[in-house]
């Protein structure tokens, strides 16, 4: 993972796979309840600005996506994500809804992604986007992004969007719809809703999801980080690598102290600049 200060405000968060925090540990043949953990990381970076920070989070691997029958785009239901008004949802919330692999190897251009969406979010800070990947999101390209205000710019009515994916003819791809909160404050009741997700070529539909009217193959996942375990300003400009070791971070203090033994969690690292 390598970031630069050229990106605006904040960058994508790098997330670990889901990790189960054990309830017990066995040392020397003696099993005891888990009371603490030690997360450590090596980092090398230049502090490019007075407020530039490297942050580490431990958070619950919770998903907020649900199929809801209130005001669907079409049919009887839609995918809806709504940020709760309480709990560890104050910053850097990440929520994903991912398609299965979509085979475009035999597709005929034009290939388009179309979907209905509603979005209410803090303008310029909390945003929704759609990414496409050919390698299970080891790498990806953003094809859609939206940020709208709670009172000005929010999309409270269903809006139809079409995106040209013809450049991916001959590939197998996945699409990932996401809700992304900033590092300041994520507005409660932020909404991202989706319906009638369709990938089609000149011959017709290749993939379709009706928002839960019928069984869905979409996979919801998420990250609820709450408070950071580490926020460091760094040592200043370093023309040569200078690796620093940071340890003694206890993941049980993650998600505003809501991580407990037995929970499924993720570790997230991110560079932010204000």
pLDDT at 255 over 90: no
If you average pLDDT over residues 92-115, what whole number do you get? 96
Distances (CA, A) of 102 to 89, 154, 200: 32, 30, 11
Q: How confident is the model at residue 11 (pLDDT cuts 50, 70, 90)?
A: low
Distances (CA, A) of 229 to 39, 93, 144, 251, 261: 9, 15, 31, 8, 17
What pTM did the predictor assign? 0.87
Q: How far apart are CA 146 and CA 153, in angstroms?
A: 10
Residues 201-247 pLDDT 10s: 999 999 999 999 999 999 999 999 888 899 887 667 777 888 889 99
If you average pLDDT over residues 195-203, what whole number do you get? 98
* H or E stretch covering 27: strand 24-27
Q: How far apart are CA 213 and CA 80, in angstroms?
A: 13
* Assigned token pair, 53: 């920070």
Structural domains of the chain, ranges and CATH numbers in brackets: 14-58+226-272 (no CATH), 63-223 (2.60.120.200)
């Amino acid at each position: 993972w390598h970031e630069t200060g050229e990106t605006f405000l904040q960058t994508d968060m790098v997330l670990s796979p889901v990790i189960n925090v054990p309830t017990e540990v066995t040392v020397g043949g003696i099993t005891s309840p888990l009371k603490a953990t030690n997360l450590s990381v090596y980092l090398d970076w230049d502090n490019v600005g007075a407020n530039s920070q490297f942050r580490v989070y431990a958070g619950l691997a919770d998903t907020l996506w649900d199929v809801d029958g209130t005001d669907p785009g079409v049919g009887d239901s839609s995918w809806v994500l709504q940020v709760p008004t309480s709990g560890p949802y104050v910053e850097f919330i990440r929520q994903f809804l991912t398609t299965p692999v979509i085979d475009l190897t035999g597709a005929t251009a034009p290939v388009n992604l179309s979907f209905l969406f509603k979005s209410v979010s803090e303008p310029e800070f909390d945003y929704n986007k759609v990414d496409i990947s050919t390698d299970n999101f080891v790498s990806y390209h953003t094809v859609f992004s939206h940020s709208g205000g709670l009172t000005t710019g929010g999309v409270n009515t269903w809006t139809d969007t079409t995106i040209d994916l013809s450049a991916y003819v001959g590939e197998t791809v996945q699409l990932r719809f996401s809700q992304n909160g900033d590092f300041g404050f994520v507005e409660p009741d932020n909404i991202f809703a989706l319906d009638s997700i369709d990938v089609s070529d000149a011959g017709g539909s290749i993939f379709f999801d009706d928002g839960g009217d019928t069984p869905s193959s979409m996979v919801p996942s998420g990250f609820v980080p709450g408070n950071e375990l580490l926020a460091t300003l760094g040592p200043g400009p370093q023309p040569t690598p200078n690796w620093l070791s940071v340890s003694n971070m206890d993941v049980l203090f993650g998600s505003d102290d809501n991580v407990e033994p037995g929970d499924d969690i993720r570790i997230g690292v991110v560079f932010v600049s204000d």
